Amino acid sequence: MNLPEMVKAAGVVGAGGAGFPTHVKLDAKAEWLIINAAECEPLIETDKYLCRTYPKEIIKAAQAAAAHLGAVHTVIALKGKYEAEIKALEAAVEQLGAAVGMFRMGTFYPAGDEQTMVQQVTGRSAPERGLPLDVGCVVDNVGTMLNIAGALDGNPVVDKFLSVVGEVEEPVMLHVPVGTAILDCVKAANPRLSDYALILGGPMMGKPVIGQEAMDAAVVTKTTGNIIVLPRGHYLFRRAELPLASIRHQAKSACIQCRMCTDLCPRYLIGHQIRPNLVMRNLWREPGITDIEEYANTFGDAANCCDCGVCEMFACPMSLSPRRVNQYIKQQLRERGIQILKNAAPKARPSIDQRYTPTDRLVARLGLSDYYGLHAHTCKELHPDTVFVPFSQHIGKPAQVVKAVGERVERGELLAQAAAGLSANIHAPISGVVVEITGKGARISGREE
């Protein structure tokens, strides 16, 4: 088997983002292999932990991926302040004689956004709604590298490393089977309050999980890298629960056209055509625009929004939400069948290096200063009796279950096979009996009867 075949068999998907199947990404030739260890959002600890703990495995996987891609340059991009991590990785590079460099980034958001990272490392801006590969780059998360290292040894992805931070006794790393209940992870970190809600991922782009029912149903997937525990009444939850109607109303009445949302937008900075202030300015007349061309000309910029949240969480002095407005407009563009032209060769704006959002100021704006700068030094293993394994933990089609209720599975055995097209294999994270199969996933019980 070649590398993409081994990676496909092991069910490796992007560990730090939306879960793009890695075998598809690796089935290419690229000048640059960039390994993303920048921990894009504040409070997340996972990439740092992996760099400190598994540097040799990461570098070995980087060598294999670079050889397969034919990469001329291989770098690990991470924040320059990650001294212990850089030291561990550089020691592994030396020991293995690997041609892998370190690219030190500033402490800003969104350093780990792959298009921002590509621009910082190579000076090239990817096309609008394009891929790093369009400018000769493959970007993979450092957690994905660790899973590639596992795939090289024939080990499928059945576990996940994640940090639990926020209102907990102290931040911790956990190593758990995929499908572990999120609340078991929270309990293992000893939450300091009872009335809490959660964010899965980072505070800017993570998924808020609010209410007992939603928290009970949430499980760890191959892409879960962090859980933030916050008081139920925290600003971030109040903001997430604002209805779209209020957001639209506020946008129409309170936008002062200061343009900060545009000037600080990371996609605007790498040269993409996106000016959220203009979308906000024209929102009042949106319901009356029926002509497709006029709609595209007025609101087409929204198609280039990557949902990073800088505009609403940091830039806007009026606490408006250009991101949510852009999400609404993108939905309208889809429903109306409007295709927006793409600039295939954008050029970064001259101001780019002065306009990125400093992480410490962002953290203060988000009301998270109490939790910033605390690090996870220990890692706990969890061994749950039962897991619920979703069939869709990746971008593309859900995997197709190959086991039936009542069948015994061994840890690492194939549970659901990648569907035709874009999809990924899913393996049993624990040994036990399949006790339930729903449209969404399978429950495995490892309890001895």
Contacts with ligand SF4 by CB under 6 A lie at 255-261, 265-267, 274, 276-277, 280, 305-311, 315-316, 318, 320, 322-323, 326
**Shortest separation between residue 249's beta carbon and ligand SF4, angstroms:** 13
- The strand pair at 426-427 and 172-177 is best described as unpaired
Nearer residue to ligand SF4 within complex by CB, 151 or 316: 316
Integer-rounded Cα Rg, in Å, for the chain is 22
**Shortest separation between residue 263's beta carbon and ligand SF4, angstroms:** 9
Nearer residue to ligand SF4 within complex by CB, 282 or 445: 282
Nearer residue to ligand SF4 within complex by CB, 258 or 435: 258
Give the C-alpha separation, 357 to 205, whole Å: 15
Nearer residue to ligand SF4 within complex by CB, 181 or 311: 311
Nearer residue to ligand SF4 within complex by CB, 278 or 433: 278
Nearer residue to ligand SF4 within complex by CB, 150 or 276: 276
Residue with tokens 């690229």: 30
Contact 218, 199 (CB under 8 A): no
Give the C-alpha separation, 286 to 290, whole Å: 9
The dihedral through the CA atoms of 7, 113, 308, 277 has a sign that is negative
**Shortest separation between residue 351's beta carbon and ligand SF4, angstroms:** 15
Give the SS3 label for residue 188.
helix
Helix orientation angle between 83-96 and 55-69, rounded to the nearest 10 degrees: 60
DSSP state of 340: P
Scored b (16 or more CB within 10 A) or e, 192-209 reads eeeebbbbbbbbbbbebb
**Shortest separation between residue 124's beta carbon and ligand SF4, angstroms:** 19
**Shortest separation between residue 315's beta carbon and ligand SF4, angstroms:** 5
Give the C-alpha separation, 52 to 27, whole Å: 29
**Shortest separation between residue 330's beta carbon and ligand SF4, angstroms:** 10
